[in-house]
Amino acid sequence: MSQYTPVPERYQQMRYRRSGRSGLKLPEISLGLWHNFGDVDRYENSRAVLRLAFDRGITHFDLANNYGPPPGSAEETFGRMMQTDFRPFRDEMVISTKAGYLMWDGPYGEWGSRKYLISSLDQSLKRLKLDYVDIFYSHRPDPETPIEETMMALDQVVRQGKALYAGISNYPPNEAAEAIRILRDLGTPCLIHQPRYSMLDRWVEDGLLDLLEQQGVGCIPFSPLAQGLLTNRYLDGVPADSRAARTTGSLPTRLTDETLAKVRALNGIAQERGQSLAQMALAWLLKDPRITSVLIGASRPEQLADSLQALDNIQFTDDELTRIESIL
């Protein structure tokens, strides 16, 4: 590929929302590198997806230490992109990473200790070939480490300039409230929370979204398509080559007849709206002003372009919302 020059009108193609009561705005759709950017994936394809994302006004790229596979390799892929394509545009980008899940052997390789979080971020910065990340997250609460220690580590890396903002991910309402309070007392307010949220997985509506709104914290859902359930992939059953056909993970157990009936009914409404089911599922999240951005994945440029079309219509009539609610 030749020298990369981004599309000049990229910022006219995207809307941006403020993250809570912070000064930071994020694109309505952000790109997550959970899958499709590891060593097992073809680099030129990953590069094409990342280039298209930036060309379409996606400024936010979300990573974690364990993304790959193997763990660490998604950060290495992005670091390679920084060297070849993105270095001149670093200040136009929001790059995030996280630590919390298993990353290396021994007692300091996962969870929420200061030892693990700070070591992990140092490793991530090397892989990403960056001096700092914009957002550093505690990827999950640690039941055995005092939450004060975990939050003090986030505060420390912000004060050291290794991260500009602190975030939390996968924290239930009570732990989230505690984390937000501690960070505020330390002088490093929590910027954003990254929970799992989709039409089929609505636990955040039981208190978390209200908490984030009250506290002025942004929200950026991941798995908005419920690991592919909210796409046209399973409308006619389970394809042999799909993720659900493999025996690992929670997806096969969630593919019940009841769920598939809901998915087909939702697809009918999406068709009436002139959208694919996936596009409607993204739009349904973005209809809520408390949602700062929605994190999507993409295995190829065409899939990313398709998802971005969700932004063409994020308005719902009262009748549509009532019918969707009755299905769900």
Structure confidence by residue, pLDDT tens digits, 123-135: 999 999 999 999 9
pLDDT 10s digits, 184-237:
999 999 999 999 999 999 999 999 999 999 999 999 999 999 999 999 988 887
In residues, how long is the chain? Answer: 328
pLDDT 10s digits, 140-155:
999 999 999 999 999 9
The SS3 of residue 196 is strand
In 3D space, the residue among 108, 98, 92 whose CA is nearest the CA of residue 14 turns out to be 92
Checking phi first, is residue 63 left (phi over 0); if not, alpha (psi -120 to 50) or beta?
Answer: beta
- Go through the domains of the chain in sequence order and give each one's CATH number: 10-229+288-299 (3.20.20.100)
- What's the mean per-residue pLDDT of the chain? 96
As a whole number of angstroms, the distance between CA 49 and CA 137 comes to 24
Instruction: Specify the residue for token string 């500009």.
Output: 164
Instruction: Specify the residue for token string 């506290």.
Output: 215
Using a pLDDT cut of 70, give the percent of the chain over it. 95
As a whole number of angstroms, the distance between CA 137 and CA 217 comes to 13
Pick 241 or 121 by higher pLDDT.
121
